[in-house]
Amino acid sequence: MKDIAQSATELPDNPDDERRIRMIKYTVAMGVRVVCIVMMLFVQGWWLLVFAIGAIFLPYFAVVIANVKSPPRSATVNRPHGIVERILHPAGRRQ
């Protein structure tokens, strides 16, 4: 049976940190939507249509962007057990 050892570098991000990052992305997108709504009061013509489209479709894209998983960490894994073994058993001697 294969040894199922998980190193600390393979663990996923802290859920609290990931949630905070997603909330920031969503808040920024909703801030842009508020700007679009306010700008609709001051513009005319094609600009009104552009800001209206932004105000209508930004909530959908905000949710999609906020729910995208963060990219995986690098594939190389630094395993500290080799360093610990050298400190505990110098010069390759095992006890």
**Residue 40: inside a domain, yes or no?**
yes
Say what the pLDDT of residue 26 is. 92
**Residue 88: inside a domain, yes or no?**
no
Confidence of residue 42 (pLDDT cuts 50, 70, 90): very high
pTM score of the predicted model? 0.61
Token output for 35: 């700007």
Token output for 51: 């800001």
Tokens 């505990």 belong to: 88
The domain of 60 spans 14-69
> Residue 94 corresponds to which amino acid?
R
Question: What's the structural domain count of the chain?
Answer: 1
Instruction: Give CA–CA dist 63/37, Å, rounded.
Output: 18
Higher per-residue confidence, 13 vs 59:
59
- pLDDT(95) > 70: no
Token output for 73: 């960490």
Determine the straight-line distance between the first and last CA of the chain, rounded to whole angstroms: 27
